[in-house]
Amino acid sequence: MFLTVLPALLVACMSASVRGFVVPGGLVTGSGSAVVFHAHGPSNTSPASGKIIEYTVVEVNEGQGYNASNGVFMAPAGGMYMFSTQTCIWSNTFVLIAIIKEGVVVQPSALYDTSPGYAPCFSSQAFVRLSAGQRVWVESRRTNNGNMLFEDEGRWTSFSGVLL
């Protein structure tokens, strides 16, 4: 019974999935030019106020826009980008960070953690229109504790972006 029904089921599933790709009007696939990066592992867990946070471990860098040596993303192409950053901090730490475009804050964020012995994370996003060559980075704005940033295998302090 099973043996006779199974091939018929398989054929039905396959033709269904093939039909799934045939969308009236065609697929919407975005810009088609892959610019995307994701990096974590800050070089300095105590960045002074005004310092760029340098994320040294590069997971993805299609388009080569992100520079791990200085933490700065430089747009290889113009367009609308989405940036995202996650920041994990030591307990009893007060932190302000911001996503910055060419020296102008496009998304500020803050967290004050009072929980004992646990390093939480917060994240923020920004949608930014860039011309080719314009730069975006994450900056430390203020902290009450020199050793503010945290990363281990359970939480990454990261920065990522994509051309939409």
Ligand X SMILES: *[C@@H]1O[C@H](CO)[C@@H](O)[C@H](O)[C@H]1NC(C)=O
Using the rule CB under 6 A, which residue among 43, 61, 67, 86 binds ligand X? 67
Q: Which amino acid is at 7?
A: P
Instruction: Give me the residues paired with residue 95 across strands.
Output: 111, 143
Question: Which region among 48-56, 66-74, 94-102, 109-117 touches ligand X (by CB under 6 A)?
Answer: 66-74
Q: Which amino acid is at 82?
A: M
Rounded-to-integer distance, Cα 72 and Cα 135, Å: 7
Rounded-to-integer distance, Cα 68 and Cα 7, Å: 51
Rounded-to-integer distance, Cα 80 and Cα 127, Å: 7
- Residues 23 to 52 in contact with ligand X, rule: CB under 6 A: none
Question: With binding defined as CB under 6 A, does residue 70 bind ligand X?
Answer: yes
Question: Which region among 8-16, 62-70, 93-101, 140-148 touches ligand X (by CB under 6 A)?
Answer: 62-70
Question: Which region among 64-72, 75-83, 93-101, 135-143 touches ligand X (by CB under 6 A)?
Answer: 64-72
| Binding residues for ligand X (CB under 6 A) | 67, 69-70
